[in-house]
């Protein structure tokens, strides 16, 4: 049992060595160790703060990128809509111009046709009048006493006119 209970002298020297070691450690080792632990703790806190700030900046940048992308999409849609409107407007203008030109050409052609028709009718009337005058002259020049000879003469003249055409 003596092994389990230490002697008083041994306890005295152990207490003195422990207190000396405690004094030496507190003077030379604990201050640097606690200071290095405080510095490390501060470094870790600063690193965490920087990481939080970087994360917030990243979130802000992502939001700005999304906003810019959204604005770019809206601008693209606006430009496409304007281009489509302009294209449709140009198509409609081209169709209207083509229709107007076609209508003008048709109107001019109708005028030309009407004028040629009038001219042809006048020529027919003039020819008919000349033929009528020629027939009348020939009838008057010939002394015809009988009705039947007049009819025969007119029929001969008509046949003659038909042959010349």
pLDDT, one tens digit per residue, over 11-68 is: 899 999 999 999 998 888 888 888 899 999 999 999 999 999 999 999 999 999 999 9
Q: Which residues contact 12 (CB under 8 A, 6 or more apart)?
A: none
Residue 12 tokens read as: 């005295």
Structure letter (DSSP) for residue 28 = I
So what's the pLDDT on residue 127? Answer: 85
- 1 within some domain: no
Burial track 51-62 (b if 16+ CB lie within 10 A, e otherwise): eeeeeeeeeeee
For the chain, strand residue ranges (E) read none
- 140 within some domain: yes
Q: Taking a C-beta distance cutoff of 8 angstroms, is the pair 101, 131 a contact?
A: no
- 35 within some domain: yes
Whether the pLDDT of residue 123 is over 80: the answer is: yes
Q: Taking a C-beta distance cutoff of 8 angstroms, is the pair 25, 17 a contact?
A: no
Domain count, the chain: 1
- 122 within some domain: yes
Residue-range definition of the domain harbouring residue 32: 19-164
- pTM for the full model? 0.41
């Amino acid at each position: 049992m003596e092994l389990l209970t230490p002697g008083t002298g041994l306890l005295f020297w152990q207490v003195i060595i422990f207190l000396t070691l405690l004094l030496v450690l507190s003077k030379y080792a604990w201050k640097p160790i606690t200071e290095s632990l405080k510095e490390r703790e501060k470094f870790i806190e600063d690193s965490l703060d920087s990481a939080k700030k970087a994360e917030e900046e990243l979130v802000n940048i992502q939001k700005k990128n999304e906003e810019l992308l959204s604005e770019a999409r809206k601008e693209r849609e606006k430009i496409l809509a304007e281009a489509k409107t302009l294209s449709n407007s140009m198509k409609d203008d081209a169709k209207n111009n083509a229709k107007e030109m076609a209508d003008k050409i048709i109107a001019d052609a109708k005028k030309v046709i009407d004028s040629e028709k009038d001219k042809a009718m006048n020529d027919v009337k003039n020819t008919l009048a000349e033929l009528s005058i020629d027939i009348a002259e020939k009838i008057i020049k010939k002394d015809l006493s009988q009705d039947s000879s007049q009819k025969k003469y007119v029929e001969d003249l008509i046949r003659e006119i038909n042959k010349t055409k």
